[in-house]
Amino acid sequence: MAKLWGGRFQKNTDEKVDDFNSSIRFDKRMYKQDIKGSIAHASMLGKQGIISLEDSEKIVAGLKEILVEIENGQVKFDIDAEDIHMNIEKLLTEKIGDAGKRLHTGRSRNDQVALDIRMYLMEEIDEIHVMIKHLLEVIVEIATKNTEAIMPGYTHLQKAQPITFAHHIMAYFEMFKRDIQRLADCRERMNIMPLGSGALAATTYPLDREFVAKQLGFSDITYNSLDGVSDRDFVIELASVLSIIMMHLSRFCEELILWSSHEFSFVEMDDAYSTGSSIMPQKKNPDVAELIRGKTGRVYGHLMGLLTIMKGIPLAYNKDMQEDKEPIFDAVDTVKLCIPVFCDMIATMKINKDNMRNGARGGFTNATDLADYLVKKGMPFREAHGVSGRMVYYCIEQNKSLDEMSLEEMQSFSDIIKDDIYDAISMESCVNERKIPGGPAKGTVEKAIKKALDFLKTV
């Protein structure tokens, strides 16, 4: 089949090369952006007198019809036309004749694809933004119901100090809040219009680039034609933001998997978000959480792949860059697949407050509070740390917890201990005395939740 660029060739490309070279299989998903971009370009060409107004209008009308035909499933794309850009141009020329051949005036596929991918990814960012916002709302809702649900906090996965489930889960609010901000920041840099860069050295036609940018809703234009066609930083940035989102989901999933184990039993996934075993009748596995954790690797892989594709490419456009699409599309698809199922999974899980509370009681999570008690009675902290540590050791030997010691037993370690100690080292005090901003005390977490709700009104 004759190629749109076939003029200087004597021979057809090998069939295998047609297939190899073609990107229509995966770039067809940018059809809407490609048509939108072409409509803006054609209108500008007409306005500038570069083509006649009549041709410009014919092109715009033809492109609008093609859009409807594609959406109705009436169009079969052609591998020989290589990519979405040439497929649409070919359809247009078949439809409106010679006027269609004027569309590509002052444009190259290099700046065209740079335009399309920016527009496509900005729309995807907007969808992911909405999904993360919903996730943040779900987190706040769970937190609101659990400000008194005491649980152990961990460092090194060893019981450390008591916190509440609300406080724990609000840590994830902070993480996903940063993600939503990172997405917005990435979108801002993406929001510049490269058309007019041409193949690499702009063009001699008097294009009105600002007009095109305005038509398409971009906030600015690119200011170097080489960079305009060869920059894929925004793809890599987005892959990096998506990787961080997956990393956060994955850490959350890891905790949920751990907490669903018999040993912890802090949470139980709803049956609708668990699966059984084909051999072990008793099993209820947190597959959804595991799969999200697993898919994280896939998104990281795409980030690494994109960085590697770009690392050795001389300016300006090179065909290597066609390889940017599959990884970033799959990264976007994966994140969009994971967030909604994750939201529903955590919204429906059962929280076993009693088991959490029992978990907080074991493991001497109030040993710091015991030391702090001694400090408040005048003992230097380092000394108090030693006394509390010796009391812990004693309790381990006696197989009891700190609050199970009698006052006499306690006083044998330090006579400044009085019977107000029991209140000072109760789980409630351990949590609720940590009331400085950022702490787990009920009132403090309630303030953090209020701040979170205020933030949600701004995004």
Residue 83 or 231 having the CB closest to ligand ARG: 83
Q: Shortest distance, CB of residue 82 to ligand ARG, whole angstroms? A: 6
- CA-to-CA separations, 14 to 3, 21, 71, 82, 200, in angstroms, rounded: 12, 10, 32, 13, 28
- Of residues 110 and 197, the one with the C-beta less far from ligand ARG: 110
Provide the angle, in degrees to the nearest 10, between the axes of the packed helices 109-144 and 233-260: 30
- The binding site for ligand ARG (CB under 6 A) comprises 23, 27, 83, 109-110, 113, 319, 321-322
What is the C-alpha separation between 140 and 144, in angstroms, rounded?
Answer: 6
Spatial CA neighbour of 232 closest among 106, 298, 321, 162: 321
Shortest gap between Cβ of 307 and ligand ARG (angstroms)?
Answer: 17
What string of DSSP letters covers 377-438? Answer: TT--HHHHHHHHHHHHHHHHHHT--GGGS-HHHHHTT-TT--TTHHHHTSHHHHHHT--STT
CB 160 within 8 A of CB 365: yes
Instruction: Name the burial class of residue 150, with classes exposed (0-12), middle (13-18) and buried (19+) by CB atoms within 10 angstroms of its CB.
Output: buried
Closest to ligand ARG by CB, 26 or 394:
26
CA–CA separation, 164 and 223 (whole Å): 52
Residues 6+ apart with CB under 8 A from 384: 370, 371, 372, 373, 374, 375
The nearer residue to ligand ARG, 115 or 445, going by C-beta atoms, is 115
The residue written with tokens 């290099």 in the block is 110
Structure letter (DSSP) for residue 35: H
Residues with a catalytic annotation lie at 156, 277
The 3-state DSSP class for residue 78 equals coil
**Among residues 80 and 255, whose Cβ is nearest to ligand ARG?**
80
CB 109 within 8 A of CB 85: yes
Q: How far is the CB of 75 from ligand ARG (least distance, A)?
A: 18
Q: Which is nearer to ligand ARG, 131 or 321 (CB)?
A: 321
Minimum Å gap between C-beta 117 and ligand ARG is 8
Residue 107 or 177 having the CB closest to ligand ARG: 107
The distance of closest approach from Cβ of residue 197 to ligand ARG in the complex, given in angstroms and rounded to an integer, is 12
Question: CB-wise, 322 or 388, nearer to ligand ARG?
Answer: 322
CA 397, CA 392: separation in Å to the nearest integer? Answer: 9
CA trace torsion 39, 45, 51, 57 (10° rounding):
30
Query: Helices H, strands E: what count in the chain?
Result: 19, 6
DSSP string across 396-409: HHHT--GGGS-HHH
**DSSP helix, strand, coil percent of the chain (3-state; round to 5):** 70, 5, 25
CB of 186 to ligand ARG, least distance (A): 21
Q: Which residue has the tokens 């008690």?
A: 373
Least distance (Å) between residue 19 CB and ligand ARG: 14
Q: How far is the CB of 344 from ligand ARG (least distance, A)?
A: 36
- Token representation of residue 312: 């050795």
